[in-house]
Amino acid sequence: MDTVEKIKQQISENPILLYMKGSPKLPSCGFSSQASQALMSCGEQFAYVDILQNPDIRAELPKYADWPTFPQLWVDGELVGGCDIIMEMFQQGELQPLIKETAEKYSEEDKQS
């Protein structure tokens, strides 16, 4: 599986996915730290990919997403944006319902299948 296929699979399999430097518990940059903190405070499970451990994804994702920087938040297969957008949405109360609704939507799909 090539890198772009791997990225597409990760995005399709994880309704809430953060590509970041490090992990939510041990972020390796301030922007990734802020983004993961905002997501964690929404109170729902989310997946993450540490791009420092995956240099192939680190190289390919900016081209695939047409977004040059990390972190990148993907919700329901769509790129939401990076740290500034995540923090702005969080402060305006827009991130929480998006994350909650997406988590609920996918947990209901799990129950139905």
Annotated binding site: 21, 29, 58, 70, 83-84
> Residue ranges for the binding site for [2Fe-2S] cluster?
29
Distance CA 101, CA 7 (A): 23
Query: CA dist 51 to 10, 21, 91, 109, Å?
Result: 13, 6, 26, 29
Q: Which class for 2: exposed (0-12), middle (13-18), buried (19 or more C-beta within 10 A)? A: exposed
Q: Which residues contact 101 (CB under 8 A, 6 or more apart)?
A: none
Angle of the 30-40 helix axis to the 83-91 helix axis, nearest 10: 40
> Residue ranges for the binding site for glutathione?
21, 58, 70, 83-84
